[in-house]
């Protein structure tokens, strides 16, 4: 895919994509006509976290999320989290209705929710049990709409319509650390892949 020129960012990392540390990737639904404020169908979003815990932006840049048009290959900067908002962006996932993009931030111990203009709100943080949600795919939705997050030492479940997390699984069996999760959309089975090689 040819990458076309992009706009400037406030850091020195005009990423796409050679030499970047791309941690999360997600694609919007490819069917349907987007309503006002929705994301364009079929677009690809990738997270590009900064290095050195956001302390050397002149060298490592800031947390960035890039948007790719699959038809033209054009890459644009969708969101950039600077200064106090920077916190090592990781996994990405869309809400089931496609209206919001959820983003994990490892160093900040929080989950962000972005609208189609790149504006964010803090959805959950350490007071909700979020602790270092590091993983290439640290979030998933169950068929019933429950939201799951893989954090350090546990998998949390936020039931549909609830803002309080329940511990779905913990590290009592010493297999949970940082990792990715996926849920079977038919039967709801959850799979966990450790960053250290176990499934």
Q: Does residue 105 lie within any of the structural domains?
A: no
pLDDT of residue 30: 47
Which pLDDT score, from 0 to 100, does residue 132 have? 84
78 and 22 share one domain: yes
Q: What is the pLDDT of residue 1?
A: 29
For range 155-171, the mean pLDDT? 85
pLDDT in tens, 51-83: 667 777 777 778 889 998 888 889 899 999 888
Distance CA(140)–CA(165), nearest Å, equals 14
Q: Which residues pair with 68 in a beta bridge?
A: 44, 75
Q: Are strands 24-27 and 110-114 parallel, antiparallel or unpaired?
A: unpaired
Query: Is residue 137 located within the same domain as residue 79?
Result: no
pLDDT tens per residue across span 118-146: 999 999 999 998 988 776 778 999 999 99
Could you give the percent of the chain with pLDDT greater than 70? 73
pLDDT at site 177: 64
Instruction: Say whether both 80 and 136 belong to one domain.
Output: no
Cα–Cα distance measured from residue 78 to residue 101, given in angstroms and rounded to the nearest whole number: 11
Claim to verify: residue 37 and residue 88 sit in the same structural domain: yes
Helix then strand then coil, in percent of the chain rounded to 5, is: 10, 35, 55
**Whole-angstrom Cα distance, residue 187 to residue 115?**
30
Structural domain includes residue 119: no
Residue 130 lies in a domain: yes
**What is the bridge-based pairing of β-strands 154-158 and 147-151?**
antiparallel
Evaluate whether residue 101 is within a structural domain.
Answer: no
pLDDT over threshold 90, residue 158:
yes
Domain boundary among the residues 45, 76, 92 is at 92
From CA 69, how far away is CA 193, in angstroms rounded? 30
More confident residue, 125 or 8: 125
Contact 28, 40 (CB under 8 A): yes
Q: Please state the rounded mean pLDDT for residues 176-195.
A: 81
Q: How far apart are CA 133 and CA 7, in angstroms?
A: 30
Report the alpha-carbon distance of residue 184 to residue 147 in Å, rounded: 13
Domain that holds residue 22: 12-92
Q: Each residue of 12-49: pLDDT tens digit?
A: 445 555 545 555 566 655 455 444 357 777 888 888 88
**Does residue 7 surpass a pLDDT of 50?**
no
Least confident of 19-23, 59-63, 97-101, 169-173: 19-23
Tell me which of 92, 112, 137 is where a domain ends: 92
């Amino acid at each position: 895919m040819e990458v076309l020129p992009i706009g400037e960012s406030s850091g020195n990392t005009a990423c796409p994509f050679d030499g970047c540390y791309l941690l999360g990737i997600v694609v919007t639904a490819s069917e349907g006509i987007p309503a006002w404020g929705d994301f364009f169908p079929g677009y690809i979003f990738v997270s590009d976290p900064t290095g050195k815990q956001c302390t050397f932006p002149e060298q490592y840049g800031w947390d960035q999320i890039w948007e790719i048009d699959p038809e033209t290959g054009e890459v644009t900067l969708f969101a950039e989290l600077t200064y106090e908002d920077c916190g090592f962006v990781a996994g990405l996932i869309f809400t089931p209705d496609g209206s919001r993009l959820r983003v994990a931030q490892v160093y900040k111990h929080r989950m962000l929710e972005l609208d189609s203009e790149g504006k964010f709100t803090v959805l959950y943080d350490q007071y909700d049990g979020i602790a270092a949600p590091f993983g290439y795919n640290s979030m998933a939705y169950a068929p019933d709409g429950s939201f799951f997050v893989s954090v350090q030492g546990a998998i949390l479940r936020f039931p549909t319509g609830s803002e309080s997390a329940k511990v779905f699984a913990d590290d009592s069996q010493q297999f949970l650390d940082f990792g990715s999760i996926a849920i079977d959309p038919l039967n709801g089975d959850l799979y966990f892949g450790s960053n250290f090689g176990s499934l």
